[in-house]
Structures are given as structure tokens and as C-alpha cells.
Amino acid sequence: MIPITVVEFGEDAERLVLEVLRSGNIAQGSLVRQFEDRFASMIGAKHAIAVNNGTTALVAALDVLDLEPGDEVVTSPFTFVATLNAILEAGATARFADISEDDFNVTAETLAAAVTDRTRVLMPVHLYGQIAQMDEISALAAARGLAVVEDSAQSHGSSLNGRHAGTYGLGSFSFYATKNITTGEGGMITTDDDVVAERLRVLRNQGMRARYQYEVAGHNWRLTDLQAAVGLPQLDDYDDVVATRQSNAEYLGAGLSTVRGIVVPAQQEGRRHVWHQYTIRVTPDSGVGRDEFVAKLGERGIGAGIYYPKLVFDYPTYRDRDDVIIGSYPVAERIVQEVVSLPVHPHLTRQDLDRIVGTVSSIVDEA
């Protein structure tokens, strides 16, 4: 079986984890600070604030915007459920904008169509490892006086004309086990704003500035040095990891682009795609239904994923809530029925890649 993800660490991570264990200082300490500083400089942000997971990072980013009940956050309907849950946890109202089939992300046009006079925040999701059209989205936010929170959970190091995801607005990242950079659980908020960074650090640590001086009712959102020890060494060779993912994606694209009814993903002009997922679309022209296609891949030893099988609000628990405003999203509604993510991780061999291409081709040929 070729798995969709492989979680594997080098000896440098093992050594650093052991050092932390032996030091006895296993909670948040100097390694978390190092992880923050290295991450901030990697993406070109002034500050990075580590937290316990990516959902917390989103909630924290919304928290510092001081939203009022009824204030609206416009996001993508085609995302992981954490995006929506974070908006609700922050006490805001969620609205959605359709996506583009070029990059699976919301666009300035679709966001503009969803903005109302209650909108306070635009929250694009840089899905699968590719940053959204942030130039246009930032211009829209500036023109309408809106804040931007970027759900960059899947897009560490993705950039547009050299400018990284997470530096256009408040950036939010995840280090969950399957993400491109992982600490098991973990998250990061990025900002250039000194005051916002300081507020986030205080909120993260029970609202405490100096010892026992509680400034606000805060939280325990801390990451640990044990987790930072897992994450830090991954920053050393992250560019190589992305380069391998990139070349795997190119190889798959070359093999799959001529298969009937299969649409391969593309790195858009000026953007760096970090290939968290390699997601094809199995369209009706292929002659095979998406779910049948995934089942056949599984039978033939290819681990495939469906990210995501339904639009984020399309579950009974989100229906009939005043804080989840659901409209119609023709592109997302079609694409959600077509997506299949194939293995693209750096542990694939040339032989694995050939097998993936060959298996996809034969499933379509047989249809």
C-alpha cells in the first residue's frame, strides 16, 4: 500500500527531544521561542506566536480583532471543519464565498459578493498548499475596511510573488501530525504588529503579563518545548521537502494530464505551491464516479483521500443556526463531488509515482 501520508522524523529531532526530556524543562520555554523566531524568519513575518493547535491559532487571531456578536467572517465553504468551528468559537457569524476551480480557493470577486455591512473579517483558506490571490483579496479588504485572517494551516511557506502566506493579514498555521511541518499538535499565529503580538502572548498564558499580573481573562494556549523540539529540525530541511513534493507533483501532472476526464492541479502564475495535497478532479468525462474511483485505488494499493467529502456547513449541526449563513456556491458544490487527493509526500519513489499514474490510467481505461 502506498500511504497518503508518512509521518517520519530524523535523528536530529530524536536528539533534541531527548535533550528536552533530560533537561526537565518540558513545558513552554526557550525552544518554543526558537521555533517562533525561526518560523517568523522563514515566512518573513515580524512575530510568530506558538499555540497548542491550529484551531486555537484561528480563534486567537479572531479574538484580537475584538469582534461583536453578529459580526461576520467570510470564508471558504470548501475547507476543514476547524475553519468554521473557530469562527463560531470566537463568537462571530460565518458567511461563505464560492471558490475558483483554478486553485480551490476563494477569490476577491467571490468574497466581494458575500460581503455585507456586518462583515468585519475576510478569512481565505490557502487550501492544499497554495496561497489564494492575496493581492486582490488584500486590496478588497483595504477598500472595505476589513481585517484579514489567513487560514494557512496547509500552506507553510507558500508564497505569491515571493510574499508568504501568513504575512498579508494575521496568519494562522497548524502543526498537526499530517501537515507539512508537524509537532503532533501545534499552531502558530503570525503578525507584523507589535501590539497584537504582545496581546496574543498575554492571552496565551492565562492573561498574565508579569508573574501573577493578570491583565485579561486569558487561556492556556501554550505549546511545549517537547513539541518545539520535534518541529525545529524540520525547518532546516523544509525547502528540500517542498522541492521533493514539487517534483513529485510535476511527475504526477505529466503522467495524469492526458488521462480522460482527469483534471490535474496547477501551480498558478507567480505562486509557490507547497503541495500539502495533490488533488485531482475526477470529472464525469472519466466515466467513473469519484467514490468508485477511490475504492478502486484502495483495492489496488493506492491510499487516496477525499478532502473534503462535503461542504463545511453541510452537516445537520450547522443547519438552522443564526451564526451560520448558508447560500449557494455552484463551483464548490460541483468540485466537492470530484476531488481526490493522491500521495505526493517526499517518501515516494519513482516506482511509486509510476504505479500511481498507471493505476489511475487503468481505472479510467476500464470505465
Positions touching ligand PLP (CB under 6 A) are 53-55, 79-80, 82-83, 125, 151, 153-154, 174, 176, 187
**Residue number with the smallest Cβ distance to ligand PLP:** 54
Between CA 214 and CA 64 the distance in angstroms is 17
Between CA 273 and CA 266 the distance in angstroms is 9
Q: Which is nearer to ligand PLP, 125 or 332 (CB)?
A: 125
Q: Which is nearer to ligand PLP, 105 or 286 (CB)?
A: 105
Q: Where are any strands of DSSP class E within 217-334?
A: 262-263, 271-272, 278-282
Q: Which is nearer to ligand PLP, 52 or 191 (CB)?
A: 52
282: number of Cβ within 10 Å: 25
Contact 187, 54 (CB under 8 A): yes
Q: Which is nearer to ligand PLP, 149 or 252 (CB)?
A: 149
Q: Which is nearer to ligand PLP, 180 or 359 (CB)?
A: 180
Q: Which is nearer to ligand PLP, 43 or 256 (CB)?
A: 43
Q: Which is nearer to ligand PLP, 54 or 343 (CB)?
A: 54
CB of 62 to ligand PLP, least distance (A): 13
Between CA 108 and CA 152 the distance in angstroms is 17
Q: Which residues of 52-80 are buried (b: 16+ CB within 10 A; e: fewer)?
A: bbbbbbbbbbbbbbebeeebbbbbbbbbb
CB of 259 to ligand PLP, least distance (A): 27
CB of 112 to ligand PLP, least distance (A): 22
Counting Cα atoms < 13 Å in the Cβ hemisphere of 157 gives: 23
CA proximity to 124, closest of 89, 79, 162, 62: 79
CB of 358 to ligand PLP, least distance (A): 30
CB of 357 to ligand PLP, least distance (A): 26
Angle at 90 between CA 85 and CA 94, to 5 degrees: 60
The C-alpha R_g of the chain, in whole angstroms, comes to: 21
Between CA 154 and CA 276 the distance in angstroms is 6
CB of 235 to ligand PLP, least distance (A): 17
CB of 174 to ligand PLP, least distance (A): 3
